[in-house]
Amino acid sequence: MLKDKVAVVTGAGSGIGRAVARKLAAAGARVVVSDIDEEGGHDTVAAIGAGGAEAVFFKADTSRPEDNDALVAEAVKRFGGLHVAVNNAGIGGPMAPVGEYPIEGWDKVIAVNLSGVFYGMRYQIPVMKRGGGSIVNMASILGQVGFRNSAAYVAAKHGVVGLTRNAAIEYARDNVRVNAVGPGFIKTPLIENLDADTLKALEGLHPIGRLGEADEVAELVLWLCSDKASFVTGSYYAVDGGYLAQ
């Protein structure tokens, strides 16, 4: 499905990003696994290698423009181009109502979850314009609706959806497709520090009656990255067990 394609995945040292990197590699892509967490990143590369596919790790902080520039340069240097990018790195941030929200927490969440996606595309698109490509930006159900005490996250993810639409219409004629994926609550380290009662309550918010798995998100991302989604651009795709249908 992705033979001869080169992919970068940010936040690929854990959770959804790791599942995406593994799936893209299993589908034939050569993958640059990127994260600020070196250990997690190397574990992902090892898992991909154990499956007989090819990947390298590159440390990059998505909230730093120069790191995004260097990440794209690494893909081109190591594998000769860039065809697929999954801008997935993200953090949860503090929990508080807007009137009490910590300013530093706001700045950090916006820097990683929103500016990080912009910086990613800012450097990925000029390279992709040469031969076409597919970008998937990781939004959330919270890119469509609010969630108490999560203003920065909600604002950033809504921003990711808007940014995705804008990039999609600007580069559709260059054969660069840009889409956003919106997971419901997924069992990853991002939510694992929540207590059992909260997790149970979150399960109940999904009509399917459970939390999602990282692999279930990665399956959709793989499809969007592939040529099977050749007429799909500027879209937001939920993978949320029915959360948004209520």
* Footprint on residues 145-174 left by ligand NAD (CB under 6 A): none
In the chain, alpha helices (H): 15-26, 38-50, 65-79, 103-109, 116-128, 151-171, 196-204, 214-225
Assess whether 123 carries a catalytic annotation: no
Segment near ligand NAD (CB under 6 A); pick from 71-79, 85-93, 169-177, 193-201: 85-93
Q: Which is nearer to ligand NAD, 30 or 35 (CB)?
A: 35
Q: Which is nearer to ligand NAD, 129 or 187 (CB)?
A: 187
153, 171, 237, 243: which is the annotated catalytic residue?
Answer: 153
C-alpha–C-alpha distance, residues 214 and 16, integer Å: 5
204 is a contact residue toward ligand NAD (CB under 6 A): no
C-alpha–C-alpha distance, residues 205 and 43, integer Å: 32
Looking at the chain, how many residues does it have? Answer: 246
The two three-digit tokens of residue 193, written as one number? 């520090």
Figure out which of the listed residues 1, 26, 28, 37 binds ligand NAD, where binding follows CB under 6 A.
Answer: 37
Judged by the rule CB under 6 A, the positions of this chain that interact with ligand NAD are 10-11, 13-17, 35-37, 40, 61-63, 88-91, 112, 138, 140, 183, 185-186, 188-191
